[in-house]
């Protein structure tokens, strides 16, 4: 199972080991706590593995903490960052905040303040991951449907709700039209007018959206995800998924769950 990793960067061995010891005791094996003595070592580590939380000293020889943060930002690495400093000069704090730091701890750091800062950072990691997942699975055309807000047309709102709640089942335009007490041809016209997609396009996009959510959040086999998303065969599901997403469901899962 993946363990979140916390990296402590400080050029003073005693400080580095003291922080590690405190966090090791607090983590009780639940998180991986590792250390680096300088910026160069930090970059080497981050090139090889994902770092969830970075605690870094501001003042270090050769590469300062702020220079390290700039390199990380330039490389599009996005750990949650906590800065440690014995200096309370405003410009350091100001520059650190500009570089995406969420907390600024002044030495000497109490165990309580350190643990509180790391717990806050863990919440931020989870929030960042949820936001990333939503961004990856969202279908902009479906977002547009919500933005157009067709709720002023009650039959359309009811039709959308019925589709969304029955994605796993066979869905025909006639069945949905019967549910909202409309002629199927009239529903088709209303649907295109208010949803900006045909009935079948909307159903397909909602099914693929459901599949993406399951691929990202579960370990279900592809055949089960196909069934949960309303497809009778995995072969047909894979074909439709690839047409819309440009890759197979397996590739999508692998690329988005690194």
Q: Which CATH architecture has domain 140-256?
A: Orthogonal Bundle (1.10)
| Res. 107: pLDDT tops 90 | no
Alpha-helical runs (H) found in 59-198: 65-74, 90-98, 111-137, 140-148, 154-165, 173-179, 184-195
Query: Which residues are paired to 85 by β-bridges?
Result: 106
pLDDT per residue as tens digits for the range 138-189: 888 887 776 665 555 788 889 999 999 999 999 999 999 999 999 999 999 9
Q: Give the Cα separation of 50 and 34 in Å (integer).
A: 12
Q: Which residue has the higher pLDDT, 15 or 133?
A: 15
Domains in the chain: boundaries = 5-133, 140-256
Q: Give the torsion sign (CA, 12, 16, 19, 22).
A: negative
Q: Give domain 5-133's CATH superfamily.
A: Response regulator (3.40.50.2300)
Residue whose structure tokens are 């010891």: 21
Q: Which residue has the tokens 């005693």?
A: 14
Closest CA to 98 of 90, 106, 109: 90
- The pLDDT value given to residue 131: 81
């Amino acid at each position: 199972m993946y363990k979140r990793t916390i990296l402590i960067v400080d050029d003073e061995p005693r400080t580095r080991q003291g922080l590690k010891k405190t966090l090791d005791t607090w983590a009780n094996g639940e998180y991986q706590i590792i250390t680096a003595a300088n910026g160069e070592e930090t970059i080497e580590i981050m090139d090889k593995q994902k770092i969830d939380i970075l605690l870094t000293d501001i003042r270090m020889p050769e590469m300062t903490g702020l220079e390290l943060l700039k390199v990380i930002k330039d490389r599009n690495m996005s750990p949650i960052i906590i800065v440690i400093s014995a200096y309370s000069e405003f410009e350091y704090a100001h520059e650190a905040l500009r570089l995406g730091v969420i907390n600024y701890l002044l030495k000497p750091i109490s165990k309580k303040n350190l643990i509180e800062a790391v717990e806050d950072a863990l919440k931020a990691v989870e929030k960042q991951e949820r936001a990333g997942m939503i961004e990856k699975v969202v279908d902009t055309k479906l977002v547009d449907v919500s933005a157009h807000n067709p709720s002023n047309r009650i039959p359309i709102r009811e039709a959308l709700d019925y589709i969304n709640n029955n994605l796993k089942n066979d869905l025909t335009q006639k069945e949905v039209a019967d549910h909202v007490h409309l002629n199927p041809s009239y529903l088709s016209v209303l649907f295109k007018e208010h949803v900006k997609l045909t009935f079948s396009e909307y159903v397909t996009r909602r099914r693929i959206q459901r599949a993406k959510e399951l691929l990202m959040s579960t370990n279900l086999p592809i055949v089960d995800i196909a069934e949960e998303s309303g497809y009778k065969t995995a072969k047909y599901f894979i074909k439709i998924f690839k047409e819309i997403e440009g890759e197979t469901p397996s590739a999508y899962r692998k690329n988005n769950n690194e």
